[in-house]
Amino acid sequence: MRHQPVLLVIAHGSRDPRHAATVHALVRRVRSLRPGLRVETGFLDFNIPSVQGVLESLAAEGVREVVALPLLLTRAFHAKADIPAVLRDAPRRLRISRAEVLGPSPLLLSALERRLYEAGLTPADKSSTGVVLASAGSTDPEAIAVIADIAREWWHTGWCAVRPAFASASLPRTEDAVRELRELGCSTVAVAPYVLAPGFLPDRIARGAARADVLAEVLGPSPEVARVLLERYDTARTRMPAAVSA
């Protein structure tokens, strides 16, 4: 029977120790949801092990099939440039299928709502609450458009209003979106960070949420995020390159 490909989760990495800790917690949840699946973690920068190091170790062990999954919410620079570049340098004996980024996904919207409810909101608050969908930000127009689309989709589920905001590279900032929702007349204003792990930009989002009523936690190791990882893995498995006969 053909073995399951190894799932390699590729995270950006950060000098902030909370980032790696959150990534590892998410990976542990993925393992708990699918016992028997080998899941490894590699970082592009700042943390170890590096992606290249993990790939070389897997090849040395005799692993042949890997699904490389970008731990990213949008297809921006890291997904389009950094990760393809590091995978091109992988040992030739590895057959690698690259999974899609995590977003957009209905499961991620569920995770965002989970975090808002954990922060004190209830479903009864939706119609009177304006939400700032606060992402890290990007110079990539595709990534910015995706965040705007997610905000529109989320608004149609019953919130008073949903506005996108960005911690860097793009406008508006979180504090500007909070002010806009106040002026719009929403009784409650909540900020939902559309980021996976704590770090420099999530901290900037939190500072921008100072005048909001509710600030949710980052998505982190929520079960919905873990399920998205497995969905992306399963889809990528079907596209595995064919084995070459010896």
161-166 and 129-135 strand pairing: parallel
Measured CA distances, 11 to 58, 109, 125, 219 (Å): 17, 21, 35, 14
Task: With beta carbons less than 8 A apart as the criterion, state whether 147 and 135 touch.
Answer: yes
Quote the pLDDT of residue 244: 45
Q: For residue 3, what pLDDT is reported?
A: 82
Helix runs in 62-138, H state only: 77, 83-88, 106-118
Q: What is the pLDDT of residue 245?
A: 40
For residue 133, the SS3 value is strand
**pLDDT at residue 24, rounded to an integer:** 98
Read off the pTM: 0.95
Query: Mean of the pLDDT values across residues 112-121?
Result: 98
Q: How far apart are CA 66 and CA 91, in angstroms?
A: 11
Instruction: Give which of 132, 232, 129 is closest to 172, Cα–Cα.
Output: 132
3-state secondary structure of 111: helix
Confidence at 2, pLDDT banded by 50, 70, 90: low
Which tens digits make up the pLDDT trace of 183-209? 999 999 999 999 999 999 999 999 999
Beta bridge partners of 189: 130
Q: pLDDT tier at 240 (50, 70, 90 boundaries)?
A: confident
| Segment 122-175, tens digit of pLDDT | 999 999 999 999 999 999 999 999 999 999 999 999 999 999 999 999 999 999
DSSP 174-190: HHHHHHHHHHHT-SEEE
- Residue 63 identity (one-letter amino acid): V
| Six token digits for residue 106 | 């209905």
d(CA 98, CA 86): 12
pLDDT at 34: 98
CA distance 79 to 70: 7
Tell me, what's the pLDDT at 241?
A: 65
pLDDT at 242: 63
Q: Is 168 exposed, middle or buried (0-12, 13-18, 19+ CB in 10 A)?
A: middle
Kindly report the length of the chain.
246
- Chain segment 5-53, per-residue pLDDT in tens: 999 999 999 999 999 999 999 999 999 999 999 999 999 999 999 999 9
What is the reported pLDDT for 76? Answer: 86
Give 59-93 pLDDT, tens digit per residue. 999 999 999 999 999 998 889 999 999 999 999 99
pLDDT surpassing 60 at residue 221 = yes
Residue 246: its pLDDT value, please? 37
